[in-house]
Structure 1
Amino acid sequence: MASSYASASFMLLLVLQLCSCNEALPRADATCPAEQPSAVATVSSHHGEPSCQPPPPHIPVAVFPYDVDPVQFAMNLEYTEAEFFLHAAFGKELDQIAPKLALGGPPPIGAKKANLDEVTWRIAAEFGLQEVGHVRSIQRTVGGIPRPLIDLSAHNFARVMDLAFGSPLNPPFDPYINSLNFLLASYFIPYLGINGYVGTNPIIDGYKTKMLVAGLLGVEAGQDAVIRALLFERRGLVVAPYNVTVAEFTDRVSALRNRLGRCGVKDEGLTVPRELGAEGAICTNVLSADMDSLSYSRTPAELLKILYLSGDEHVPGGFYPEGANGRIARSFLGKPRHGAVEAPGN
């Protein structure tokens, strides 16, 4: 009897020790939920059911020839976002995260790891990895173009802000110095991706290309919404050492994009006059949209005018010192298509 009691006591003590050891073990990432393989298997087990499949396309052509160039043009922005977010979060370029996706294009200029708080780092890391998927999905669907030379240096972002304010900021703006500056820099590019995809959708017809653009647009819009929401939360905060609020920074950057784009107002900061807000009833502007709360559209020429910081799609510079790649972008420069690669099976 005593032996049985001792044995039971020993087993209880062992269980308690194991539990305490498990609790003491640090998790690789406390943000991640506990793995539940059985639940995942249950969720995915009915994927083959008819109700899970999309309806057949009205036009059973996956990719029309004229779909290719507009979608490949978008890769310029996807490369840019991928490099910016990956460098800021991990201090690594696309070639180190996903070798060969750059298709031999040169590495970016001046991109580096940013000094970010925990939340902003997680956002940058997730966005960067999402952009890897975007580049891959475009290449897989319509073929790819080589990564263009991209200038992501602090000097180039400082030039953006100097243009936005009409005079040099002192000290020069640095997107990598802290989380707030990084978010303000992030305000510039993902929004243009939304404009581009809204403009691309009406001019493509393949069911695979339409599905691709819809998927890309959804995530780009989500990224922009996250950035704008974080900035909106800080809209009254003064950006040191410039004595200018976050809201004014966004107003200035939006005005710059409108000015460079040369096609009217297609961009708005975090606050607007009430008559320009949703249904003319609110002055907050967490999402930039037109009078019917629809996303604005921009053409490739408009986007290049902005991204070149020149106001002219024929004059490269800014984020693309040697110009963007693909047939559309190179046509404005009177140069060849620059090594486009067909999608597998095309």
Structure 2
Amino acid sequence: MTTDTELLEAFDARAKRRDSRRDFFKAFGTASAVAGGFVLATKSDPLSAQAAPSDADILNFALNLEYLEAQFYSFAANGVGLPANLLSGPGATGTATGGRRVTFTDPVVAQYAREIAADEIAHVTFLRSAIGATAVGQPAIDIGATPDGAFSTAARASGLIPAGASFDPYASDEAFLLAAFIFEDVGVTAYKGASPLLANKVFLEAAAGILAVEAYHAAIIRTTLYAKGMATPTAMIGTRTIIEATESVSGARDSLDGASDLDQGVRATGSGATTASNIAPLDADGIAYSRSPGQVLNIVYLNRAAVTGGGFFPAGVNGTLRLSAAN
């Protein structure tokens, strides 16, 4: 497992290049033909050297991510996780540990949390139904606030908390929003990267529909973080202001998922940096970017290497697509 020190060194190195970044098409990687379409992937991605995954493989991969999001939001908004009837299936099933209700102080954030929780639970329910008997069960998920847990490891390596400290995503509205920011942006890029792999047009349409919802969610989270950061510029999440914290998390994700430097926080860059926000992280043509399954797993496993578990999924995800990319 990559150590906190190694992650921090990687994030620091990436941060030095952030001001000159975002040459999207040049930096992103190699286009490889898969399943009659195209998926953007790095050369180190496991999919670039493998036969095309089946539609069931892709949907089960997405289901793992939906388990993670649904459990986090359900605990944060409602104080309880997913019901047992949504957890069973093939694979090494496990529990979601460490979640709890957030004591929200902003009623708008509380309402957003409840809305997104309901949407993510619906995604789990839908995908399980669409896949059928081969829908994988929920793997073990870490959404707690212990010093050695996934949230704390990510926050510490991002420079938000010092060594040995904990990051508690349930401690405040702002902490919850930043934790949600980690998941939602990754979910958007994951669905966009995986959609071209689907051969069945019915599944493709469904995946596009879920992608749209995840993009709505991401925009809600990014807009709210930006607004809070502008309204109270000195408000802190750990050692960073709210807007700086999104940049730290963005740099962390970029450092984990390969040589590309595409991820973006909510602070605008370039000529509009002082007069515009950056709610939609896009390329120069206004198009959202993609991540391959291997790159997504780098982030949720919190590891730049090719591994089969760690981070938010301590024992890995269930299904065929469970190996992260080698970066």
Number of equivalent positions: 263
Contact 1:72 1:145 in 2 (8 A): yes
Residues 21-57 of structure 1 show CA distances to partners (whole Å, capped at 9, x for unaligned) of: xxxxxxxxxxxxxxxxxxxxxxxxxxxxxxxxxxxxx
State whether residues 151 and 167 of structure 2, in contact with CA within 8 Å, keep that contact through their aligned partners in structure 1: yes
Q: Kindly provide the CA deviation profile for residues 54-81 of structure 1, in whole angstroms up to 9, marking residues without a partner as x.
A: xxxxxxxxxx982111121011110001
Aligned mates of 2:320, 2:219 — CA distance in 1: 31
Q: Which structure has the highest strand share of the two? A: 2
**TM-score, normalization by structure 2:** 0.75
CA distance in 2, matches of 1:243, 1:307: 23
Question: What does residue 202 of structure 2 align with?
Answer: 208
Amino acid at match of 1:216: I
Q: In the alignment, is the contact (CA less than 8 A) between 1:235 and 1:270 conserved in 2?
A: no
**Paired residue for 2:85?**
100
**Which residue type is aligned with residue 251 of structure 2?**
A
Q: CA deviation at 1:166?
A: 7.6
Find the counterpart in structure 2 of residue 299 from structure 1.
Answer: 292
The alpha-carbon distance between structure 1 residues 282 and 293, as it changes in their structure 2 partners (threshold 3 A), is: farther
Deviation at 1:314, TM superposition (A): 1.2
- 1:292 and 1:152 map into 2 onto residues whose CA distance is 36
Distance 1:267 1:313 in 2: 20
Residues 132 and 190 of structure 1, relative CA distance in 2, 3 Å threshold: same
| 2:156 maps to 1:165 | no
Aligned pair partner of 2:315 in 309, 319, 322: 322
Note the 1:1-346 alignment, pairs <5 A.
66-95=54-83, 99-103=84-88, 105-117=93-105, 118-143=107-132, 144-155=135-146, 156-165=150-159, 168=162, 172-236=166-230, 237-240=233-236, 242=238, 244-274=240-270, 283-329=276-322
Which region of structure 1 is more displaced relative to structure 2, 157-166 or 132-141? 157-166
Counterpart position of 1:56 = none
Tell me the SS of whatever aligns to 1:198.
helix
Are the aligned partners of 1:304 and 1:312 in contact in 2 as well (CA < 8 Å)? no
Deviation readout 1:86-122 (Å, 9 max, x if unpaired)? 0011111102xxx411115322011111111322121
- Give, in whole Å, the separation in 2 of the partners of 1:310 and 1:332: 8
Tell me, yes or no, if the aligned pair for 2:74 and 2:80 is still in contact at 8 Å: yes
Q: How many Å separate the matches in 2 of 1:313 and 1:194?
A: 22
TM superposition shift of 1:84:
0.4
The answer to whether the Cα contact below 8 Å between 1:109 and 1:153 also exists between their aligned partners in 2 is: yes
Change (3 A) 1:283 1:158: same
Q: Secondary structure at the match of 2:316?
A: coil
Q: Radius of gyration: which is bigger?
A: 1
Report if aligned partners of 2:308, 2:315 keep a CA contact under 8 Å in 1: no
The Cα offsets for residues 253-273 of structure 1, whole Å up to 9 and x where unpaired, read as: 001000000141221011132
Instruction: Please report the TM-score for the alignment, with normalisation by the length of structure 1.
Output: 0.71
Unmatched segments (≥5 aa) in structure 2: 1-51
Equivalent position of 1:31 in the other structure: none
Deviation at 1:243, TM superposition (A): 5.1
Is contact 1:302–1:313 with CA below 8 Å preserved after alignment? no
Letter of the structure 2 residue corresponding to residue 298 of structure 1: R
Q: Distance in 1 between matches of 2:299 and 2:237?
A: 27
Q: Which has the higher contact order (CA 8 A, sep 6+)?
A: 2
| 8 A Cα contact 2:305 2:324, kept in partner | no
Q: Deviations over 1:203-234 (max 9, x none)?
A: 11212101110110010000000000000102
- The more displaced of 124-133 and 231-240 is 231-240
Letter of the 2:261 counterpart: V
Q: CA deviation at 1:283?
A: 4.6
Shift in alpha-carbon separation, 1:184–1:244, aligned structure 2, 3 A: same
Could you tell me how far apart the structure 1 residues matched to 2:244 and 2:282 are? Answer: 18
- Relative to structure 1, the CA distance from residue 248 to residue 332 in structure 2 (aligned partners, 3 Å threshold; closer, same or farther) is closer
Task: Report the counterpart of residue 26 of structure 1 in structure 2.
Answer: none
Query: In structure 2, the residue corresponding to 1:148 is in which secondary structure?
Result: coil
C-alpha contact 1:274 1:283 (8 A) present in aligned 2: no
